[in-house]
Amino acid sequence: MGALDGLKVLEAGLLVQGPQAAATLRDWGAQVIKLELPDFGDQARWILRPDGDPRPPYFIASNRGKRSVTADLRRSGGRDIFLRLAEWADVVITNFTPGTMASWGLGYDDVSARNPAIIYAAGSTFGPLGPDAGREGADLAAQAAGGLIATTGAEGGDPTPVGATIADHIASQNLVSGILAALLARGRTGRGQMVETSLLGGQIWAQASEYTSFLLTGRVPGRANHGNSLIAGIYSILPTADGWIAVVGVVGQARVAFFEVIGRPDLAESFAARLYSDADKDRLFSDLAPIFRQQSTDHWCELLGRAGIRHAPVRDYAQVADDEAVWSNGYLIKAADVGGDHDVVGTPVRFSATPAQAAPSAPELGQHTEEVLVEIGYSWDQIEQFRLTGAI
């Protein structure tokens, strides 16, 4: 049994934010029914690799283990199916543009009238209030509008987006946190509530330290410059003979050991200050770069490791997947399926008594439509009528 065994989730989500929140709950034991538009489905089904591989990675990553039901929520039959499923569910998850579900008669007020205990979790790009509430957007918009892109790269160079849908992923986990808190509150009061998060809000929350610095001083933090503009010390990635290595904060007496390990004990006196100014960091990293370029990443990892200096190699996905620790911790796993094992991304959370379990595969579009509709009480004649009217 998973930690959320018995929890019933109805997801009407698109792409990453809503679907990944539901996927997290599913891996932790919840049952998830995913509603998709007939003949099209979640937009993530159509984001394919440029090499023509027909397997959609965005859809697979966020929808494994769910049951797919097709229903056109704009039609009366689809609306009826949604509301009946909402009566069955503990949690509804959606990330349509704010106002869309309500315009179809499927907003929180409509659903809670049928199921007062429902937790209605809604994600958006820019938040539910303000002049941008009704704007459509996606991960890149939030990275840009939330200030993240402005922190990347080096002073004088071009900023760059983070090469992953990080805004979506952060927002999805914020949505999960809100859902779990609302479920705890419902356990005390018996009442459900609406939970709302956004990509923009998640980006600001993820940069809380940097935003706090700005709010305290009025000064906008600078670019990352291979590290973090707020950390006034040895905290940076450095080029090696065959890649890059991260040196992750060297403080106090560890600095003497660090400078000795790299063969430059004289730098301990030159950079003896507890906090380094931006000018200090520029001079120091100009000295360190040619030193680290003389040896391989593995060489520096071994030396720094022996000296107890915090560090990590800068790795690509293939190198990460080759790390035994990644598999032993369950961050990547082999999931058993009818056709054999599949390598999939596991959950980053471990439970000692109620282990998470990732499913190996995502559903085909509408794979479980008839199965689910029969379960919630529709007759075969009604199901056929839904099909004739385009509701499913």
Residue 10 near residue 90, CB atoms below 8 Å: no
How far apart are alpha carbons 130 and 134 in whole angstroms?
A: 9
Residue 198 near residue 127, CB atoms below 8 Å: yes
pLDDT digits (tens, 9 = 90+) for 65-81: 999 999 999 999 999 99
* pLDDT attached to residue 170: 97
* pLDDT attached to residue 232: 87
Any idea what the Cα angle at residue 255 is, between residues 254 and 261, rounded to 5°? Answer: 90
Q: 325 falls in which pLDDT band (50, 70, 90)?
A: very high
Overall average pLDDT of the 322-331 stretch: 96
* pLDDT attached to residue 338: 67
* pLDDT attached to residue 360: 87
pLDDT digits (tens, 9 = 90+) for 276-298: 888 998 999 999 999 999 999 99
Q: 251 falls in which pLDDT band (50, 70, 90)?
A: confident
Residue 167 near residue 139, CB atoms below 8 Å: yes
- Of the CA atoms within 13 Å of residue 101, those in its CB half-sphere come to 24
- Of the CA atoms within 13 Å of residue 77, those in its CB half-sphere come to 18
How far apart are alpha carbons 110 and 92 in whole angstroms?
A: 12
* pLDDT attached to residue 343: 92
* pLDDT attached to residue 69: 98
How far apart are alpha carbons 350 and 2 in whole angstroms?
A: 11
Domains of the chain: 8-206+362-388 (3.40.50.10540), 235-314 (3.30.1540.10)
Overall average pLDDT of the 19-38 stretch: 97
Neighbours of 268 (CB within 10 A): 15
Any idea what the Cα angle at residue 18 is, between residues 17 and 19, rounded to 5°? Answer: 100
Q: Rounded mean pLDDT of the chain? A: 94
pLDDT digits (tens, 9 = 90+) for 147-198: 999 999 988 899 999 999 999 999 999 999 999 999 999 999 999 999 999 9
pLDDT digits (tens, 9 = 90+) for 344-386: 999 999 999 999 988 889 999 999 999 999 999 999 999 999 9
